[in-house]
């Protein structure tokens, strides 16, 4: 594939429009808490001074609006002339850290990361508020300990010349597919998330000319409209996999395992199996569905090849992606998939997201993705087949910087799951398994709760997030002196590991 | 007839009000608009029954921390705090999270399942520095707990014949006691704190006989109480072994100095060749200067089981700076190198907090574990440890209903067994005995991190 061809592909692509998509709720949690005490004389000076829009006074009114704390940039504002606390004539303004905010999120998705993702989904750009750490989490390992070395002497590349596209087929058979951003959406089934959330993801994938995946819960007819941007997943439960759903797809994905529950099949607990979901999965309503593990027809690479051949018989035009988890011998699995004729090998690391998984599995089985990428990348290089297969990583990729790090470690691109949902205002309370327990209306099949998500609004939020990420990637590549994201692959010399 | 081993569970609610992680605070800005009541799916916010014009105090223990009410409230009148009572649960690294997990398991008997990815730290010391492997495509796999394949969790307790000498087969086998087969790799024992009453011991041996495992009972308790002799490992101090103890049970456990244990074992073996003898080895023995050859001497004298106890709660003699996994690994490796590993069973106890620690200890080389503290927690002990200083049990564990206790502990064991099956299924193993010492099927954080660091600093791969 020539660079010129890729460039032409990308130049034809029109980037989706960024429209502000504010939160569905009145209040955004914020890092800082602004209080106006009783000493306030409603002079309105703060509303005149603050450039971030924290304070405002409706025209013709005497009283100030309730301060919009989440716009505040915090204590670093002290050095500015317009710092409200100093300027207030009656010392009526107080800034403090919000203690509620600290309880948002967890070590992997810190409050800052969640809030930053919400801001990016709202505005379509990286957060301007420098007090929010939007690059790394606080897990104390993996991506959170890997950083980029930015050499100040490198001449930055003009941003408009930078190309973030990757190709998804580098073998000499099958159609060529190029996506303008180095990621696509991971499998989330109908049942694990609501139809509206699936639609939001599908519309966003269409706008960005990338993909999202059906997950293992069948292919709802509402999604057929977006079939050119939807991967049909063929998982161990084979729920809803039919000849026509395989024929719809440009990419068919075999899900052997999932990072959050490696070695275990999919879990869909009884409360989520509504009659609609059951019909789609050809199962009994209100009964828990546990997919088997593994495919009971695949116990070797030869069996795996047989599977790939079935798909290619049904739909010769489809690319085949193989989603596997990360055992110690993941490199062998990857090479096996290559010889079976796969186009994409998708590694899902141990800390990936899930709709429901045993806690013991999430924490303790299989390696995190950071350790698996180098292993597979090196092995494929040694086998001389690295440039024929596309290596996609997933499982705990939260930010644009995680994407860049995964690529610098040796992946071609990544798959995004949880971040899509955080864009839809998920706060990671972890009640996805419970059916009617998702307060945001994402991981639910309840008719009422599903209505909380408007697909168009959701799609815009995801589109915005993707745009913000792309901007960050372009910025990073420019600083690193690279013209394309493909040049970043395996460039561990640009990284350093923090001890 | 074939009987598939299974531990029946039932829902056994706790006796005390649940302790939530969060406290929801409604401050004075509240205008009683009721938006939060509509927003909350978990019924934290309700109007007052006596005066529906006003909102009632939030029912905080139901809060899951989804932030929806906080984001909805038009007046910023809701705040979230961490519950101090929740934070106080537990003791040292037995965190509130550990206690809550064990309570959930004892209440439901199920495997804790939740949505969203792993939320904790990337890795940590000791148990958290090890991941178990899984099987995929190139290796056969197993169905796990929801499948049809049976995965055995049975283990042997006692000696295995190292060599069969066919010239005098009868005599060779006669020399050794027959090992007991127990259905789960968990032995029960009373903890060294809390109200270990007659009732508590009764609960333990009822559970042990129901789920087909063993329970370690102290000789003093055994003497005074009317305890059946089946499923019992009798703990005796090596100094005052009495003849009546040795005739009633199949296994005894000797506590004392290694030298003493060796002597006493020799004399017991001469009279009772069929008795399984376990040596109690508390953590303080395993100082850096400890000569592991003593273990060989013990085996030669006729010890069949090593009970290695490290860092039990309120247990000074089991204190050791080194983590239990490392000590077990060292002993296991030493015995393997001396070609004598199968002559003994290694039982680990002490610092075992969660179900995930069992497979990790077995991978390190243990055959089975003995549970104590977790059993007390299953009965709703919050590990306040007031009892150590002579305080009364806040949770009145001495007054529990016997059947309630039996069901709670049975639930805990069922949940732990199922979680062990999840790990074994994912690894493609058909029985837990195959897991012992399988370091090759585990992933070490230190090694992986070193490899990653080398990879990154080494630059571009050729």
A316 and A429 assigned to the same domain: yes
Closest-approach residue (CA) in chain A for B24:
A100
Cα atoms found within 13 Å of the Cα of residue A1, Cβ hemisphere only? 21
Cα–Cα distance, A133 to A490 (Å, whole number): 26
Question: What is the number of domains present in chain B?
Answer: 2
A54 and A173 assigned to the same domain: no
Residues 146-185 of chain A whose Cβ lies under 8 A from any Cβ of chain B: 146
Query: Where a domain ends, among B65, B86, B107?
Result: B86
Residue B165 lies in a domain: yes
Query: Where a domain ends, among A74, A101, A128?
Result: A101
Residue B343 lies in a domain: yes
Q: Could you give the percent of chain B with pLDDT greater than 90?
A: 72
CB contact under 8 A, B64 and A431: yes
What's chain B's Rg over C-alpha atoms?
Answer: 25
B79 and B160 assigned to the same domain: no
pLDDT(B36) > 90: yes
CATH number of the domain that residue B63 is part of: 3.30.70.20
CATH number of the domain that residue B165 is part of: 3.20.20.70
Residue A120 lies in a domain: no
Phi and psi of B192, rounded to 5°?
-90, 25
Q: Are A167 and A489 in contact (CB under 8 A)?
A: no
Q: Are B130 and A377 in contact (CB under 8 A)?
A: no
Instruction: Outline where DSSP puts E strands in A2-71.
Output: 32-36
CB contact under 8 A, B113 and A269: yes
- For residue B274, the distance in angstroms to the closest alpha carbon of chain A comes to 40
Cα–Cα distance, B211 to B188 (Å, whole number): 11
Cα–Cα distance, B188 to B193 (Å, whole number): 15
CATH number of the domain that residue A89 is part of: 3.30.70.20
CB contact under 8 A, A354 and B115: yes
Identify the CA nearest to B372 among candidates B351, B392, B389.
Answer: B351
Q: What is the pLDDT of residue B460?
A: 47
Query: Where a domain ends, among B70, B86, B102?
Result: B86
Question: What is the number of domains present in chain A?
Answer: 2
Residue B446: pLDDT band with limits 50, 70, 90: very high
CB contact under 8 A, A262 and B146: no
Residues 345-404 of chain B whose Cβ lies under 8 A from any Cβ of chain A: 354-356, 359-360
Cα–Cα distance, A240 to B209 (Å, whole number): 46
B56 and B168 assigned to the same domain: no
Q: What is the pLDDT of residue A129?
A: 83
B177 and B53 assigned to the same domain: no
Q: Say if A27 is an interface residue toward chain B (CB within 8 Å).
A: yes
Please give chain A's pLDDT, 499 residues, in tens: 456 665 665 567 889 999 999 999 988 888 999 988 889 998 889 999 999 889 988 888 888 888 888 888 888 888 889 999 999 999 999 999 999 999 999 999 999 999 999 999 999 999 988 889 999 999 999 999 999 999 899 899 999 999 999 999 999 999 999 999 999 999 999 999 999 999 999 999 999 999 999 998 899 999 999 999 999 999 988 888 889 999 999 999 999 999 999 888 889 999 999 999 999 999 999 999 988 887 888 888 899 999 999 999 999 999 999 999 999 999 999 999 999 999 999 999 999 999 999 999 999 999 999 999 999 999 999 999 999 999 999 999 999 999 999 999 999 999 999 999 999 999 999 999 988 889 999 999 999 999 999 999 999 999 999 999 999 999 999 999 999 999 999 999 999 998 8
Instruction: Select from A298, A362, A437 the Cβ nearest to the Cβ of B137.
Output: A298
Q: Is B178 helix (H, G, I), strand (E, B) or coil?
A: coil
Q: Could you give the percent of chain B with pLDDT greater than 70?
A: 96
CB contact under 8 A, B115 and A300: no
Instruction: Select from A66, A264, A332 the Cβ nearest to the Cβ of B144.
Output: A264
> Which of A189, A359, A366 would you mutate first to test chain B, the one with the most B CBs within 10 A?
A359
Identify the CA nearest to A434 among candidates A445, A423, A422.
Answer: A445
Cα–Cα distance, A147 to A135 (Å, whole number): 10
Phi and psi of B91, rounded to 5°?
-150, 125
Contacts of A53 (CB under 8 A, 6+ apart): A68, A71
Q: Is B295 helix (H, G, I), strand (E, B) or coil?
A: helix
A89 and A233 assigned to the same domain: no
B290 and B420 assigned to the same domain: yes
Residue A152 lies in a domain: no
Chain A partners within 8 Å of B134 (Cβ): 257, 262-263, 325, 327, 365-366
Q: What is the pLDDT of residue A62?
A: 87
Query: Where a domain ends, among B54, B86, B118?
Result: B86
User: Which tokens is A362 given?
Assistant: 């999430």
Q: ipTM for the complex?
A: 0.92
- For residue A430, the distance in angstroms to the closest alpha carbon of chain B comes to 5
Residue A82 lies in a domain: yes
Residue B255 lies in a domain: yes
Residue B461: pLDDT band with limits 50, 70, 90: very low
Q: What is the pLDDT of residue B172?
A: 60
B170 and B301 assigned to the same domain: yes
Q: Say if B452 is an interface residue toward chain A (CB within 8 Å).
A: yes
User: Are β-strands B232-237 and B215-218 bridged in parallel, bridged antiparallel, or unpaired?
Assistant: parallel
A254 and A402 assigned to the same domain: yes
Chain B partners within 8 Å of A361 (Cβ): 422-423, 426
Cα–Cα distance, A494 to A408 (Å, whole number): 8
Q: How far apart are the first and last CA of chain A?
A: 40
What value does the mean pLDDT take over residues B366-385? 95
Closest-approach residue (CA) in chain B for A398:
B117
pLDDT(B164) > 80: no
User: Which tokens is A58 given?
Assistant: 């409706």
pLDDT(B227) > 90: no
CA distances from A429 to A106, A355, A442, B63, B317 (A): 9, 12, 12, 10, 42
A84 and A190 assigned to the same domain: no
pLDDT(B364) > 90: yes
Peptide bond into A294 cis (omega under 30): yes
Q: What is the pLDDT of residue B13?
A: 95
Instruction: Select from B72, B115, B425 the Cβ nearest to the Cβ of A443.
Output: B115
Residues 67-106 of chain A whose Cβ lies under 8 A from any Cβ of chain B: 99-100, 103-104, 106
Q: What is the pLDDT of residue B240?
A: 85
B238 and B342 assigned to the same domain: yes
B162 and B78 assigned to the same domain: no
Phi and psi of A167, rounded to 5°?
-105, 150
User: Are β-strands A344-348 and A319-324 bridged in parallel, bridged antiparallel, or unpaired?
Assistant: parallel
Residue A467 lies in a domain: yes
Residue A124 lies in a domain: no
B73 and B149 assigned to the same domain: no
CB contact under 8 A, B117 and A269: no
User: Which tokens is A154 given?
Assistant: 């490198």
Cα–Cα distance, A386 to A378 (Å, whole number): 9
Residue A8 lies in a domain: yes
Q: What is the pLDDT of residue B462?
A: 40
A253 and A324 assigned to the same domain: yes
Residue A97 lies in a domain: yes
Residues 163-222 of chain B whose Cβ lies under 8 A from any Cβ of chain A: none
Residue B122 lies in a domain: no
Residue B135: pLDDT band with limits 50, 70, 90: confident
Pairs of CB atoms within 8 A across A/B = 280
A335 and A390 assigned to the same domain: yes
Q: Say if B66 is an interface residue toward chain A (CB within 8 Å).
A: yes
Chain B partners within 8 Å of A433 (Cβ): 113-115
Tell me the pLDDT tens digit for each residue of B82-108: 999 999 999 988 999 999 999 999 999
Cα–Cα distance, B250 to B159 (Å, whole number): 13
Chain B partners within 8 Å of A364 (Cβ): 130-132, 356, 359-360, 423
Cα–Cα distance, B213 to B413 (Å, whole number): 11
Widest distance between CA atoms in chain B: 92
> Can you name the residues that pair with B255 across neighbouring β-strands?
B237, B280
> Which of B66, B134, B325 would you mutate first to test chain A, the one with the most A CBs within 10 A?
B134
A179 and A86 assigned to the same domain: no
The label of the residue with tokens 């499982």 reads: A395
User: Are β-strands A178-179 and A166-167 bridged in parallel, bridged antiparallel, or unpaired?
Assistant: antiparallel
A13 and A35 assigned to the same domain: no
Residue A369 lies in a domain: yes
CATH number of the domain that residue A170 is part of: 3.20.20.70
Q: Which domain covers residue B189, as residue numbers?
A: 144-447
Identify the CA nearest to B457 among candidates B449, A245, A137.
Answer: B449
B313 and B405 assigned to the same domain: yes
B58 and B189 assigned to the same domain: no
Q: Quote the mean pLDDT of chain B.
A: 90
Q: Which domain covers residue A89, as residue numbers?
A: 30-101
A291 and A315 assigned to the same domain: yes
Q: Say if B138 is an interface residue toward chain A (CB within 8 Å).
A: yes
Residue B228: pLDDT band with limits 50, 70, 90: confident
A49 and A11 assigned to the same domain: no
CB contact under 8 A, A360 and B422: yes
Closest-approach residue (CA) in chain A for B445:
A367
Chain B partners within 8 Å of A107 (Cβ): 119-122
B48 and B193 assigned to the same domain: no
Angle B324-337/B293-301 helices, nearest 10 degrees?
70
A56 and A203 assigned to the same domain: no
């Amino acid at each position: 594939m020539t660079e010129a061809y890729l460039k032409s592909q990308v130049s034809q692509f029109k980037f989706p429009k960024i429209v502000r998509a504010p939160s569905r709720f009145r209040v955004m949690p914020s890092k800082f808490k602004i209080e106006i005490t009783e000493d306030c004389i409603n002079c309105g000076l703060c509303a005149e001074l603050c450039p971030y829009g924290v304070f405002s006074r409706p025209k013709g009114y005497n009283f100030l609006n309730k301060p919009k704390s989440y716009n505040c940039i915090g204590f670093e504002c002290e050095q500015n002339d317009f710092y409200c606390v100093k300027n207030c004539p009656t010392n009526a303004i107080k800034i403090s850290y919000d203690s509620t905010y600290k309880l948002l999120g967890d070590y992997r998705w810190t409050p800052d990361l969640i809030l930053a993702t919400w801001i990016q989904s709202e505005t379509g750009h990286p957060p301007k508020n420098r007090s929010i750490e939007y690059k790394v989490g606080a897990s104390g390992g993996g991506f959170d300990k890997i950083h980029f070395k930015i050499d100040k002497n490198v001449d930055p590349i003009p941003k408009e010349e930078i190309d973030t596209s990757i190709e998804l087929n580098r073998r000499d058979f099958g159609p060529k597919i190029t996506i303008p951003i180095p990621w696509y959406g991971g499998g989330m089934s109908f049942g694990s998330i609501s139809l509206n959330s699936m639609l939001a993801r599908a519309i966003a994938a269409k706008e960005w000319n990338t993909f999202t995946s059906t997950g293992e819960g069948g292919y709802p007819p509402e999604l057929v409209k977006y079939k050119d941007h939807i991967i049909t997943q063929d998982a161990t439960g084979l729920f809803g996999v039919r000849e026509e759903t395989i024929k719809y797809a440009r990419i068919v994905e075999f899900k052997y395992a999932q990072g959050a529950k490696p070695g275990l099949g999919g879990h869909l607990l009884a409360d989520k199996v509504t009659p609609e979901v059951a019909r789609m999965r050809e199962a009994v309503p209100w009964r828990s569905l546990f997919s088997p593990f593994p495919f009971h027809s695949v116990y070797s690479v030869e069996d795996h090849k047989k599977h790939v051949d079935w798909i290619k018989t049904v739909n010769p035009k489809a690319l085949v992606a193989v989603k596997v988890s990360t055992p110690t011998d993941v490199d062998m699995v990857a090479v096996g998939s290559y010889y079976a004729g796969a186009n994409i090998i998708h590694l899902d690391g141990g800390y990936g997201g899930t709709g429901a998984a045993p806690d013991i599995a999430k924490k303790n089985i299989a390696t995190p993705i950071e350790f698996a990428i180098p292993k597979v990348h090196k092995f494929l290089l040694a086998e001389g087949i690295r440039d024929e297969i596309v290596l996609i990583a997933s499982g705990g990729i939260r930010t644009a910087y995680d994407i860049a790090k995964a690529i610098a470690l040796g992946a071609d691109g990544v798959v995004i799951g949880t971040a899509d949902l955080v864009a839809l205002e998920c706060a990671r309370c972890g009640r996805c398994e419970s059916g009617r327990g998702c307060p945001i209306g994402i991981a639910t099949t309840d008719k009422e709760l599903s209505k909380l998500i408007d697909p168009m609004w959701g799609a815009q939020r995801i589109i915005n997030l993707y745009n913000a990420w792309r901007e960050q990637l372009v910025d990073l590549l420019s600083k690193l002196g690279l013209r394309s994201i493909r040049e970043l692959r395996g460039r561990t010399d640009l990284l350093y590991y923090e001890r | 007839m074939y009987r598939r081993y299974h531990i029946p569970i039932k829902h056994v609610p706790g006796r005390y009000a649940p302790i939530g992680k969060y406290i929801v605070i409604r401050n004075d800005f509240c205008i009683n608009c009721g938006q939060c009541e509509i927003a909350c799916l978990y019924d934290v916010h309700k109007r007052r029954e006596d005066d529906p014009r006003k909102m009632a105090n939030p029912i905080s223990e139901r809060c899951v921390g989804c932030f929806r009410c906080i984001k909805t409230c038009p007046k910023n009148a809701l705040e979230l705090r961490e519950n101090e009572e929740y934070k106080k649960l537990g003791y040292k690294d037995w965190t509130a999270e550990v206690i809550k997990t064990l309570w959930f398991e004892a209440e439901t008997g199920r495997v804790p399942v939740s949505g969203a990815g792993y939320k904790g730290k990337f890795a940590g010391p000791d148990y958290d520095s090890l991941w178990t492997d899984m099987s995929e495509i190139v290796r056969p796999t197993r169905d796990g707990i929801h499948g049809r394949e049976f995965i055995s969790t049975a283990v042997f307790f006692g000696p295995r014949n190292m060599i069969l000498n066919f010239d005098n087969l009868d005599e060779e086998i006669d020399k050794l006691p027959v090992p007991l087969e127990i259905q789960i790799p968990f032995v029960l024992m009373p903890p060294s704190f809390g109200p270990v009453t007659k009732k508590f011991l009764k609960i333990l041996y009822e559970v042990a006989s129901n789920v087909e495992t063993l329970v370690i009972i102290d000789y003093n308790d055994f003497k005074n109480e009317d305890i059946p002799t089946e499923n019992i490992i009798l703990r005796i101090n090596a100094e005052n072994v009495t003849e009546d103890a040795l005739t009633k049970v199949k296994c005894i456990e000797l506590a004392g100095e290694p030298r003493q244990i060796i002597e006493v074992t020799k004399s017991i073996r001469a009279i009772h060749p069929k008795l399984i003898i376990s040596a109690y080895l508390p953590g303080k023995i395993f100082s850096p200067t400890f000569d592991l050859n003593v273990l060989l001497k013990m085996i030669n004298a006729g010890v069949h089981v090593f009970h290695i106890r490290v860092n039990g709660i309120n247990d000074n003699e089991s204190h050791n700076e080194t983590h239990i996994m490392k000590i077990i690994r060292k002993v296991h490796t030493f015995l393997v190198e001396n070609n004598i590993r199968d002559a003994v069973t290694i039982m680990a106890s002490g610092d075992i907090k969660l179900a995930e620690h069992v497979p990790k200890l077995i991978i390190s080389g243990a055959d089975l574990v003995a549970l104590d503290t977790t059993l007390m927690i299953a009965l709703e002990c919050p590990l306040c440890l007031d009892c150590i200083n002579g305080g009364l049990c806040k949770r009145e564990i001495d007054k529990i209903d016997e059947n309630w206790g039996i069901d709670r502990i049975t639930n805990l064991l069922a949940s732990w067994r199922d979680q062990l099956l999840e790990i074994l299924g994912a690894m493609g193993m058909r029985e837990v005995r195959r897991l012992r010492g399988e370091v090759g099927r585990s992933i070490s954080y230190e090694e992986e991190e070193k490899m990653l660091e080398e990879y990154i600093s080494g630059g571009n791969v050729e």
